[in-house]
Chains A and B, each alone.
Chain A
Amino acid sequence: MSRGIEIRTSPHLKRVVTVDKIMRTVVLALLPIAAFAVWQFGLSALLLLLTTTGVAILTEAFFARVSGRGNTVSDWSVVITGLLLGLTLPPGFPLWMAAVAAFVGVALGKALFGGLGYNVMNPALVGRAFVQAAFPVAITTWTPAFAPGRFTEIIPSTLTPPFMQPIPVDDWVAGLNLDGWSGATPLAIQKFQHIETPLMDTFSGMIAGSAGETSAILILICGLWLAWQRMLDWRIPVSVMAGAVLVALPFWLLDPNIYPSPWFVLCSGGLMLGAWFMASDMVASPVTASGVILYGLFIGALTVVIRLFGGLVEGIMYAILLANALGPLISSWTQPRVYGSK
């Protein structure tokens, strides 16, 4: 007793899972997806991921210092933002533009609102939305997967000098002598030519697309592992997928020649990555049990509506951002019924 006993208030027991552990586990779950992106798209993807993650960390550190909030990098949430952002960009995206996206995402999407916990929208998607508007050409310039020599040479557009137009990749792609390369993703091919890429290819990721969105099966495995670790609310991705299928199914039944099949909808584009790793962002999603289901269904449904009827090829990003904005409203609509009340 000489050293004195502690006086604290109950509860005196505490579960050991903390915010930094949750965030580190999400980073761990994203690493296989990042590794697949590097294997698929080579050095350029590696540089892209390093740039977005690095700039995101630096931005976080800068704003934490300016606002006097101490070291907020140590909660690891900014690493998720940086990694996710890189995974949603085309593999040959100019690095300077990626740096802009990471800066804007963390600065406007997170620091401006007061840092972790206070952001309304997913910071990675805020950054991506910014560059989608600012650099429409670069963000729709796709390069083939598994290009020969991808581990020794860099996609020309990657090293575009800052503030310059992206270096065209057409000549470089032509030099690769690939058969059947059209410069479009399966999503665009389906939308404009109504040709569905074989399911096995979209499922396994043997296709073109953003660095980390190609392999549906890999994202599914990583997401399921995260959910099993209780670090991810499985109801969100499941309801996103359910919402997408619910809207896609009737159209496909109506005319399978024009409209995509539900499984193509699920496995193509960024839907899988968005559902498992971005819609599920705890901060930007509703807190109530029935709220997350509404939120997920809304994202899934809106994604397919944009894909089928919008001007854009992919709709997951705007669907999630819009749902993020609706999150607090959904939460307040779906307050739990208190014990003993009618």
Chain B
Amino acid sequence: MKHHTAALDSNYAPEAGHSNLMKRIGLGFTRLLHGHKTFDHGIYPIEHKELTAGKPIRRLPFADELVIPLQQHKGRASVPIVKVGQEVVRGEPIAVADHFVSVPMHAPATGVIRAIGLAPTADGPKTPAIFLKVYHAASQQVLYDMEREPERMNVKDIIQAVQDAGLVGLGGGAFPSHVKMQPPAGRVIHTVLVNGCECEPYLTCDHRIMLEQTETLIRGIQIALRATRAERAIIGVEDNKLDAVSHLRARLPKHLPITVEAVQTKYPQGAEKMLISAVLDTEVPVGGLPADVGVAVFNVGTLAQMGELLPQGRGLIERVVTVSGPAVKNPGNFLVPIGTPVRFLLDQVGLKGPLGQVILGGPMMGMAVSSLDVPVTKSVSGVVALEPEDPALARRQVYPCIKCGECLQACPVSLNPSMLGELAVAREYDVMAGQYNLDQCFECGCCAFVCPSNIPLTQYFRIAKSINRDAQQRDEAKQRPH
């Protein structure tokens, strides 16, 4: 406990004191010798991964009620096809996609539909969801499957099958996977980049997936290669997981065009654009897609599920979640049914005392929840629980910007957050977007993390972007003929 608090005194590894200087020098030499690739700028937060990195994935029991929001992904919400009172079997489709950029939902457990109504989400507003009362006495066998061989399917069928499986980016992006497999007209995908970086502190679910679900991961990569018609796949793994690198290398069949590349442990190495520039030494053009440079990026968790579900014709009904943080008694990695409320999850792992904050996802980009009734959705890779006295929750005095330039050295897309912050205070939102590339900001949080003046830069930029979006929508509405 004591040790724990000391470790949290600084959230920044290089300043954690000189006691670990030798370790830092050692790490520096390792990097020099191995020369692992990386992107420019970025930060080195304390990882806290040791809490769960050694914990194998365990299955959790079912909660009494599962809450399945209809909007768990980017794009159009799913449309329910079940009625209240209807009994459903685990794996049965309960909502369908009504658009190309959308996915269906499947029942995560055998039970009865109790209601279709509003449920709290981490994003804030309540959104439509299906409430599923679980039959604890049922066998919970998945009856909805249809065995098939992806190796013999044509590209169109695979992409349809990926959509039917309800697969979205499980790394946190939640973008429907089948959309990424179809590059825009005129673009050719030559490389599938498999994202095993997991750069967020605390999270280790992808690490465990690479170690424990290796076979399905390799199968998923083969499916992605086939669907995108790419020539090769590269698995990018941060060098704090060298065990996963050697494990994968040892198990990859020689005849497959799949390689593993260790990249530097640096946040946000797992961001799509950062991984592309680290591994392929090329940049996604401003306003463009990875497909513009011939790349499609998939998270290891997504591909492992793809390798698991597609050959059986099943849908996505569960995912691996890291439950960790200083407030958690028994942190670990768990296979959690989609829709499990965070409250149930925390009850299962036990709490040391009162909670300070609960974050869905990692602490750098995740969302703090307002209610523990919020369910685990397809994009939730972690639940991090902090104690009330956690230094991360300390009230911090905000000073004026002293132009130290730390944020410019941290920003992975080389923006000028110092200037953007001043413009935000002056409400010059259009200048931020027009002259200072605000739209390139993907809210990784590096600038706010390093700012010695405690200026909430990331939040400023979020607000500025949404104000710009609103203004743009108003303009478009005005231009429409009445």
Residues of A within 8 A of B (CB): 1-3, 5-22, 75, 77, 114-118, 230, 233, 282-289, 292, 331, 335-341
Contacts and interface: CB of A to CB of B under 8 A. Distances in A.
The DSSP consensus for interface residues of chain B is loop
5 contacts: A5-B369, A6-B357, A11-B444, A339-B414, A339-B440
A128 to B, nearest CB: 21
B453 A9 contact: no
A15 B12 CA distance: 5
A331 B393 CA distance: 34
B40 to A, nearest CB: 8
A15 B15 contact: yes
A337 B415 CA distance: 8
Given A9-B368, A233-B405, A283-B403, A17 B458 contact: no
A292 B454 CA distance: 23
Interface of B: 9-12, 14-15, 43, 45-46, 201, 273, 277, 283-288, 354-359, 363-370, 372, 384, 386, 388, 391-393, 396-397, 399-405, 408-409, 411-416, 418-419, 437, 440, 443-446, 448-450, 452-454, 456, 458-459, 462
B402 A339 contact: no
A287 B458 contact: no
Interface centre among A75, A117, A230 (most CB of B within 10 A): A117
Given A13-B11, A337-B414, A339-B283, A283 B367 contact: no
Contact of B408 (A7, A75, A118, A289): A289
Given A5-B369, A13-B363, A116 B448 contact: no
- Among A7, A77, A118, A292, find the residue whose CB has the most chain B CB atoms closer than 10 A: A7
Nearest to B409: A289
Contacts of B456: 9
A75 to B, nearest CB: 6
Contacts of A14: 11, 391-392, 396, 448-449, 454
What 8 A-B pairs are tightest by C-beta distance, nearest first? A11-B445, A117-B400, A339-B413, A15-B12, A336-B414, A19-B399, A12-B363, A287-B405
A230 B416 CA distance: 20
Given A7-B368, A288-B408, A339-B440, A19 B11 contact: no
A65 to B, nearest CB: 17
Contact of B440 (A7, A16, A340): A340
B273 A339 contact: yes
Nearest to B399: A19
Given A19-B453, A283-B403, A336-B416, A13 B440 contact: no
A18 B399 contact: yes
Given A116-B402, A340-B273, A10 B413 contact: no
Contacts of A288: 405, 408, 416
Nearest to A69: B400
B342 to A, nearest CB: 11
Given A3-B388, A339-B284, 16 more contacts: A5-B356, A5-B358, A8-B357, A9-B456, A12-B363, A12-B368, A15-B11, A15-B450, A16-B11, A19-B402, A116-B400, A233-B405, A286-B403, A331-B419, A339-B440, A340-B287
